[in-house]
Chain A
């Protein structure tokens, strides 16, 4: 099965057709949940990055800050997935032909991979190597900002 056939099946599934028939305001509500989700993901990443750079909350133990804020990150990510699927499913074919959609998808995969590997590893350390901490902060920020940026771009391509 090609990705085009898969996307076609998704859009024309019972659920896809059902969501597609709903009022346009449902889409707007999904978009609001989507922006709430991205703020919940980005704000903790920005905060922890400031800590990794030594620019903010530097007197506080890194693992404790990261542990508490990770709850917000995953709550936000859950919101993003649910609202994102609601936006995507009824218009899957439309997104299939949008190059920025694919860029965003790969950026999400890369950001998630870094999140559960390098980011998780560095934020568990009480005193991480400063340059390593800064490098990982830059990679994490770049990928998640890239996701947000690509997301904003999709509608204009």
Chain B
């Protein structure tokens, strides 16, 4: 099945149709998507800003990583789930919209960056987390995360303005 046919299937599905046609369901899902964003990208930004040394320099890195991780992962689960619903409601238009495809690409890059950080640095944070100068790879991952997630938010907000 082609991607287009799959998008059409989603668009015409019961859940896609009811989301589009309900007066309140769509904005409610949009609202939850935004609140999920505050938890996921919002808390992740705090970790990134801590890594590059712009906030909370007094908080040990292993502590902030360990204690915020479950909350921001929960936030990402909410953001992804509501994002999937929003996609289903507009699948046929979105799948051909360049700015939406850019958003998807930035999410993939940001995800790869996060996975790389976790496997390379997250697991042995005790070894480098207390040093005064952090490994370059950590700083690159933190700046990459800040930039990529910002691009995800920007392209996401542009979707309604570039969709016709």
Q: Is the CB of A42 within 8 A of B42?
A: yes
Q: Is the CB of A149 within 8 A of B158?
A: no
**Which stretch in A5-13, A49-57, A127-135 binds the other chain?**
A49-57
Query: A10-44: which residues lie under 8 A (CB-CB) from chain B?
Result: 24-25, 27-28, 31-32, 35-36, 38-39, 42-44
Say if the beta carbon of B120 comes within 8 Å of chain A. Answer: no
Given contacts A149-B34, A152-B31, contact A28 B157 (CB under 8 A): yes
Nearest-neighbour CB distance to chain A for B137, whole angstroms, equals 25
| Binary interface encoding of chain B residues 37-60 relative to chain A, with 1 for a CB under 8 A from any of its CBs, else 0 | 111011101100000000110110
Say if the beta carbon of B67 comes within 8 Å of chain A. Answer: yes
Q: Is the CB of B71 within 8 A of A153?
A: no
Q: Is the CB of A46 within 8 A of B157?
A: no
Residues of A contacting B150 with CB < 8 Å?
36
Given contacts A47-B46, A57-B64, A152-B31, contact A27 B38 (CB under 8 A): no
Nearest-neighbour CB distance to chain A for B89, whole angstroms, equals 12
Q: Is the CB of B43 within 8 A of A32?
A: no
Nearest-neighbour CB distance to chain B for A16, whole angstroms, equals 21
Q: Is the CB of B27 within 8 A of A69?
A: no
Residues of A contacting B63 with CB < 8 Å?
57, 59-60
Q: How many A-B residue pairs have CB under 8 A?
A: 93
The one of A28, A38, A50, A56 that contacts B34, using a Cβ cutoff of 8 Å: A38
Q: Is the contact region of chain B dominated by helix, strand, or loop, or is it mixed? A: helix
Q: Select from chain A the residue with minimum beta-carbon distance to B59.
A: A60
- Interface size grouping (class) on chain B: 20 to 34
Q: Is the CB of A153 within 8 A of B31?
A: yes
Given contacts A28-B158, A43-B38, A152-B30, contact A57 B59 (CB under 8 A): yes
Q: Is the contact region of chain A dominated by helix, strand, or loop, or is it mixed? A: helix
The one of A57, A151, A152 that contacts B67, using a Cβ cutoff of 8 Å: A57
Say if the beta carbon of B147 comes within 8 Å of chain A. Answer: no
Given contacts A25-B161, A57-B59, contact A39 B42 (CB under 8 A): yes
Say if the beta carbon of B105 comes within 8 Å of chain A. Answer: no
19 contacts between A and B (CB under 8 A): A28-B157, A28-B158, A32-B153, A32-B154, A32-B157, A35-B157, A38-B34, A38-B38, A39-B37, A42-B35, A42-B38, A46-B71, A57-B67, A64-B58, A145-B35, A149-B34, A153-B31, A155-B27, A156-B26
